A and B are shown apart, each in its own frame.
Chain A
Amino acid sequence: MARENIYVGLEIGTSKICAVVAEARSDGTLKVVGVGTVPARGVRKGEIVDFETAKRCVHDAIVDAEEKSDVEISEVYLGITGSHIRSFNNRGVVVLEEDREEIDEQDLDDVRTNAREVSLPIEDCILHTIIQHYYVDGQDGVLNPIGLFGKKLEADFHIVYGIRTRIQNAIRCVKELELEPADVTINSFATAQAVLEKNQKQLGAIVIDIGGGTTDFVVYVDGAVKQSGVLAVGGDHITNYISIGLKIPTARAEKLKVEEGNVTLGTAFPGETILLKDETGFAGREIERESLNQIIHARLQESLTIVKRQIEADQNLHYVGAGVFITGGCSQIRGLEHLASDIFGMPVTMAHALPMAGVTSAFENPQYSTALGLVKYAHLVQMDRPVAGGLIKNAFQRIRGIFRN
């Protein structure tokens, strides 16, 4: 069944690989028609470490999504993450020639090119050049400078870059399955599209996506991406710590984390224990609830503090008006909201994707925020709205750029 305007978002996550199929309707909204998801293997800290295994999992997820949505998938929007992703802000400047006063599209391209001219390590490539603000002759607050009169055009950009080969791995994985990567984007940026409303972006907001292998964050100030980052620590680490600290098998630790984990200290009665039933290969035993909580608390507190420190270092914390939005699978741990608001000192929302039409169960689960964000991102790119204008340019060229050499 052929349908027009189908977007597929593919997230190769550490704990699960997830493909979301959405349909753009004529009124400009999106409808989720199917979600395919399989537990991931061969992925560590958001990056593929076992190519063949990961490829099989991606294949399974795509097939699952195709079956559920009754759509043949040929093109995906791919989310990228990993500790190698870095970012910074840079300003580009273009001065118009003597005989010209009106700013045109070419100038916007030029100013972008100008901002991208920075010295990066040679193995790195730029993933995104996201527009923040334009200035015409020093006047700020210009939303769209095309057609304005001026002599000097300046623009601030948020530039995201990463190691080319490591980005290529994910792209190659998709390509080998006969799928076309329509565009790649960083996960945190996609997540923000799913979680934040436009006015929240304007007010300023922090989105933290605590997933299985990574913690991705993005800071919006004045409606523009001001900062983004990836911390290669996630829920997997908590499981690992529990397994080391309480000396239980990893699978059991994962279950314990999901079922009993709580990040708040002092909620357990003194001496309160959790009974782990015996299973094959595991003699049952009792563990102290407070110990479990302490392990989880130590991990998440450290993660959030690192994120806060990074945001503080760039002096963006005070411009955040709408608060912190935490999402991702790991955000389901009990008590995280209080811990986060203690650390950040501002309101914290446990967020999931904003409602869309279609499969409702998907966006009520914070695990799917990024995958849903990817289709929203795709939608933005396709609509080619001026707001998103910065993102769309050269989507194809960029992929080709990543693959050059």
Chain B
Amino acid sequence: MVQLNRQYGGENNTDEPVLVKVVGVGGAGSNILDRVMLDGIEAADMVAINTDVQSLAASVAAHKVQIGRNLTRGLGSGGDPELGYAAAEEATDEIRSVIQGGTVIFVCSGLGGGTGSGAAPYVVQIAKEENALVLGVVALPFSFEGRRRCAQAEESLTRLRSVCDAVVCFENDRMAEITLPRMGIHEAFAAADLTISQSIRSVTGILQRPGLLHIGFDDVCTVLRNGDARALFGYGEAEGENRAHDALAKALKNPLMNRGALLEETFHAIVHICGGANVTLGEVQIIMEELNRHINDQTQLFMGVGIEPRMGNRLSVSILSSLGNGADRPPAQTVQRTARVVQPETNPKVSDIKPDPWQPTVPLNPAPSKPVAQELPHRVAPVERTPERAPDELMLPPAETESPKSASVRPPVAKSEPKPLTPAPAKPQTAAPGKKTEAKQETLQFEPVSRGRFEKSEPTIIDGQDLDVPTFLRKNVKVR
């Protein structure tokens, strides 16, 4: 028995320490940071990065980096992402020095403004160069904040998705679901920050808490790296007689989860159950059984149970997952994706090409970033000679010949870029982009699927299949 105990303790100690850094970029980013600090987080470094000195001074973070000293002179970036990017670039070394050493780095920011949208992707890039697992935690603006702002946010999000391992994206519009319209604006924003902070805290908790059933850094990597960088997250906490059920229900109610409906599409998921010493096997069973109803057969579940005396009588359930998987993708991308998973050490090569400011180093379409790095060795020379053509070339799948036409067409300015970018190269290309379009159509087909007279009744979901949707549609049987 004694030996057993020793082994148990030893196992935990030998685990290499997971150093978590939480980086807030821009005004919204530091708000999230403050919230995380306020809620308390164990052993994590907090870094605030901002152009605005006043906002930086107000932040509670231990490390602060002012970017764009010369460019903005301590003022904000005035809603201009280009300026934000340039400011960050100016402070590359400073950013690198505070980020260095982190194993898991959360980059929090509010998209749509200048600093957040512009600097965050750059910060992520530096973090990736430092070989960390980077999770973007971003808030999108309310739609009433104007189309321009939303477009900037969208663009920045696409960029983040291509560089981050996973992006947890909180749409402020959907945040409205968790608050009441009559609630004070302050409370509403606080509620949004709280949700975001919960997600950061629980991922950190999963990584750092010793667990009876431990979930390791590797498991988190598997779950988050495999997706198309859209992360799902749910957290619920409850106490009382029925806490297992309630906590899970709350976790599934998280706006990101879409009431568990999205879980069906995932291929890996982490479930972490944490409670005081009185967590029973029955409770774990209840949670897992209920959860199993929401996921499909192929999903790989990582279950973790942690005992945290501080939880007292409360029980918390965190669910972490990411959408999409390799198998569903067109073949070209599948190959790339496997390469990406197997060889994460190729990341640093991204840095081999010095990125043009605010010019995408990686394709703007949501294709994964690292496969690009894989292609690079063959192409390093031409890329360096004609740097402005680099993005183009990267857009194309390996077999494709580049089309210099589109390079000359492209305006050098960033904001107008994504619009010509996506449709323009799609036309001259033949094989591979065709596949991409196909994939898009497939996803579109999901929406109009009819449940007929059962539209409004409680869905019957078994093994992740909605039985109210006609079987022949689900099994793709052709009916005339």
| Residue positions of A touching B, CB distance < 8 A | 44-45, 49, 83, 118-119, 121-123, 231-233, 236-237, 240-241, 243-246, 250, 288, 291, 294-295, 298-299, 301-302, 306
* B16: interface (CB < 8 Å): no
* B450: interface (CB < 8 Å): yes
> Which of A119, A233, A301 touches B467 (beta carbons < 8 Å)?
A233
Q: Is the CB of A231 within 8 A of B470?
A: no
* B462: interface (CB < 8 Å): yes
Question: Which residues of A are found within 8 Å of B452, using beta-carbon distances?
Answer: 240-241, 243-244, 250
A116 to chain B, nearest CB (A): 14
Instruction: Report if A240-B241 is in contact (Cβ < 8 Å); known contacts: A119-B286, A288-B480, A295-B472.
Output: no
Q: Is the CB of B454 within 8 A of A240?
A: yes
* B444: interface (CB < 8 Å): no
- The docked-state distance in angstroms from the alpha carbon of A295 to that of B478 is 10
Instruction: Report if A246-B454 is in contact (Cβ < 8 Å); known contacts: A83-B460, A233-B467, A241-B472.
Output: no
Nearest B-chain residue to A301, judged by Cβ: B471
- The docked-state distance in angstroms from the alpha carbon of A389 to that of B246 is 37
Majority SS at the chain B contact face:
loop
Q: Is the CB of B472 within 8 A of A122?
A: no
Q: Is the CB of B457 within 8 A of A119?
A: no
Instruction: Report 6 cross-chain contacts, Cβ distance below 8 Å, ordered by A residue.
Output: A122-B241, A231-B462, A240-B468, A243-B453, A245-B479, A295-B479
* B282: interface (CB < 8 Å): yes
Q: Is the CB of B242 within 8 A of A122?
A: yes
* B475: interface (CB < 8 Å): yes
Q: Is the CB of A250 within 8 A of B282?
A: no
Question: Which residues of B are found within 8 Å of A288, using beta-carbon distances?
Answer: 480
* B225: interface (CB < 8 Å): no
Q: Is the CB of A244 within 8 A of B286?
A: no
Question: Which residues of B are found within 8 Å of A243, using beta-carbon distances?
Answer: 452-453
> Which of B241, B450, B460, B472 touches A45 (beta carbons < 8 Å)?
B460
Nearest A-chain residue to B468, judged by Cβ: A237
Question: Which residues of A are found within 8 Å of B450, using beta-carbon distances?
Answer: 244
A106 to chain B, nearest CB (A): 28
- B148-174 CB mask vs A (1 if < 8 Å, else 0) is 000000000000000000000000000
* B3: interface (CB < 8 Å): no
Size of the B side of the interface (Cβ < 8 Å), in residues, is 27
Q: Is the CB of B286 within 8 A of A245?
A: no
Instruction: Report if A240-B453 is in contact (Cβ < 8 Å); known contacts: A121-B245, A288-B480.
Output: yes
Question: Which residues of B are found within 8 Å of A121, using beta-carbon distances?
Answer: 242, 245, 286
- The docked-state distance in angstroms from the alpha carbon of A123 to that of B240 is 13
Nearest B-chain residue to A288, judged by Cβ: B480
Instruction: Report if A231-B479 is in contact (Cβ < 8 Å); known contacts: A119-B282, A121-B286, A240-B452.
Output: no
* B442: interface (CB < 8 Å): no
Q: Is the CB of A250 within 8 A of B460?
A: no
Q: Is the CB of A298 within 8 A of B462?
A: no
- B96-110 CB mask vs A (1 if < 8 Å, else 0) is 000000000000000
Question: Which residues of B are found within 8 Å of A118, using beta-carbon distances?
Answer: 282
A1 to chain B, nearest CB (A): 42
Q: Is the CB of A246 within 8 A of B471?
A: no
Q: Is the CB of B468 within 8 A of A49?
A: no
- Give me the 5 closest cross-chain CB pairs, A-B, nearest first: A298-B471, A122-B242, A241-B470, A240-B452, A232-B460
> Which of B457, B470, B475 touches A244 (beta carbons < 8 Å)?
B470
> Which of A83, A240, A298, A306 touches B475 (beta carbons < 8 Å)?
A298
Question: Which residues of B are found within 8 Å of A231, using beta-carbon distances?
Answer: 460, 462, 467
Which of B460, B472, B473 has the most A CB atoms < 10 Å from its CB?
A: B472
- The docked-state distance in angstroms from the alpha carbon of A288 to that of B321 is 44
- The docked-state distance in angstroms from the alpha carbon of A249 to that of B453 is 11
Q: Is the CB of B479 within 8 A of A291?
A: yes
Which of B280, B467, B477 has the most A CB atoms < 10 Å from its CB?
A: B467
Question: Which residues of A are found within 8 Å of B245, using beta-carbon distances?
Answer: 121-122
- The docked-state distance in angstroms from the alpha carbon of A250 to that of B286 is 39
Question: Which residues of A are found within 8 Å of B11, using beta-carbon distances?
Answer: none
B473 to chain A, nearest CB (A): 8
- B427-463 CB mask vs A (1 if < 8 Å, else 0) is 0000000000000000000000011111001101011
- With A241-B470, A243-B452 known, 5 other A-B pairs at CB within 8 A are A244-B450, A291-B480, A295-B479, A298-B475, A299-B472
Question: Which residues of B are found within 8 Å of A232, using beta-carbon distances?
Answer: 458, 460, 467
- The docked-state distance in angstroms from the alpha carbon of A233 to that of B465 is 12
Question: Which residues of B are found within 8 Å of A250, using beta-carbon distances?
Answer: 452-453
Nearest B-chain residue to A299, judged by Cβ: B471
Nearest A-chain residue to B465, judged by Cβ: A302
Nearest A-chain residue to B472, judged by Cβ: A298
- B38-80 CB mask vs A (1 if < 8 Å, else 0) is 0000000000000000000000000000000000000000000
> Which of B280, B453, B460, B470 touches A295 (beta carbons < 8 Å)?
B470
Q: Is the CB of B467 within 8 A of A237?
A: yes
Q: Is the CB of B477 within 8 A of A45?
A: no
- The docked-state distance in angstroms from the alpha carbon of A232 to that of B457 is 11
A50 to chain B, nearest CB (A): 11
- The docked-state distance in angstroms from the alpha carbon of A245 to that of B477 is 10
- The docked-state distance in angstroms from the alpha carbon of A244 to that of B453 is 10
Question: Which residues of B are found within 8 Å of A237, using beta-carbon distances?
Answer: 454, 467-468
Q: Is the CB of B282 within 8 A of A306?
A: no
Q: Is the CB of A44 within 8 A of B477?
A: no
Nearest A-chain residue to B289, judged by Cβ: A86
Nearest A-chain residue to B285, judged by Cβ: A119
Nearest B-chain residue to A310, judged by Cβ: B462
- The docked-state distance in angstroms from the alpha carbon of A56 to that of B129 is 71
Question: Which residues of A are found within 8 Å of B463, using beta-carbon distances?
Answer: 306
Q: Is the CB of A240 within 8 A of B280?
A: no
Q: Is the CB of B457 within 8 A of A49?
A: yes
Question: Which residues of B are found within 8 Å of A49, using beta-carbon distances?
Answer: 457
Question: Which residues of A are found within 8 Å of B453, using beta-carbon distances?
Answer: 236, 240, 243, 250
Q: Is the CB of A294 within 8 A of B468?
A: no
